[in-house]
A and B are shown apart, each in its own frame.
Chain A
Amino acid sequence: KNQVEQSPQSLIILEGKNCTLQCNYTVSPFSNLRWYKQDTGRGPVSLTIMTFSENTKSNGRYTATLDADTKQSSLHITASQLSDSASYICVVSSFSGGYNKLIFGAGTRLAVHP
């Protein structure tokens, strides 16, 4: 069964600190992996996308890694800001039925406190 699991479920950090979110997946066939940010009451917004051959991708203070052998990914946030408070969702894309189907993790709820 295709699954995406994220940890921790929730996280509280102080403004300015770094943090790392984890994602493990069992999805086959694998097309790509994305990290999304979802603010409360809004739809998810893509932060990074990585294919099988890529093992790191940065977008400003966000850096994602991918280990396709162990089927693990991480999202590292540097120098956190209050506006980083959101849910971060790991999404794996699998080509099935003629198109790329998205499988979502449950997300990590991050709260950045002043």
Chain B
Amino acid sequence: NAGVMQNPRHLVRRRGQEARLRCSPMKGHSHVYWYRQLPEEGLKFMVYLQKENIIDESGMPKERFSAEFPKEGPSILRIQQVVRGDSAAYFCASSQEDTQYFGPGTRLTVL
């Protein structure tokens, strides 16, 4: 059973471009969570999704950020018109019940 997979592992974007981060949950998991980790800081919750539904997006900025978890395919975290402050590690976790399992993260660098 493969773990949570994220790609790309590293992503470099120029200011104003779009960033798309993908997360494939563990097999059988229908819950996906996205977190952001800034340097020297703890992980911060962004959004919680179940298949085709956003359950809680209270940690996600209202503008430029969006997330989806379609019926088929991976979950996508999309950041439009990236700015330097978006540079961070973005982690995805999945669960079937309570325990969340984390992916290796995507490190986004905005030049």
Contact = CB atoms under 8 A, between A and B. Distances in A.
Q: A and B bound? A: yes
B52 interface: no
A64 interface: no
B contact residues, range:
20 to 34
B56 A89 contact: no
Contact of A43 (B44, B45, B55, B104): B104
Interface string B26-45: 00000001010000111111
B7 interface: no
Contacts of A98: 55
A107 B89 CA distance: 15
Contacts of A47: none
Interface residues of A, number: 21
Nearest to A49: B99
Interface string A27-64: 00000000000000111111001000000000000000
Interface string B6-27: 0000000000000000000000
A35 to B, nearest CB: 13
28 contacts: A41-B104, A41-B105, A42-B104, A43-B4, A43-B91, A43-B93, A43-B102, A43-B103, A43-B104, A43-B105, A44-B43, A44-B91, A45-B102, A46-B99, A89-B42, A89-B43, A98-B55, A99-B48, A100-B98, A102-B33, A102-B43, A102-B100, A103-B45, A104-B35, A104-B43, A105-B42, A106-B40, A107-B42
Given A43-B102, A97-B56, A104-B43, 18 more contacts: A41-B104, A42-B104, A42-B105, A43-B103, A44-B43, A46-B99, A89-B43, A97-B55, A98-B55, A99-B48, A99-B55, A99-B56, A102-B33, A104-B35, A104-B42, A104-B44, A106-B40, A106-B42
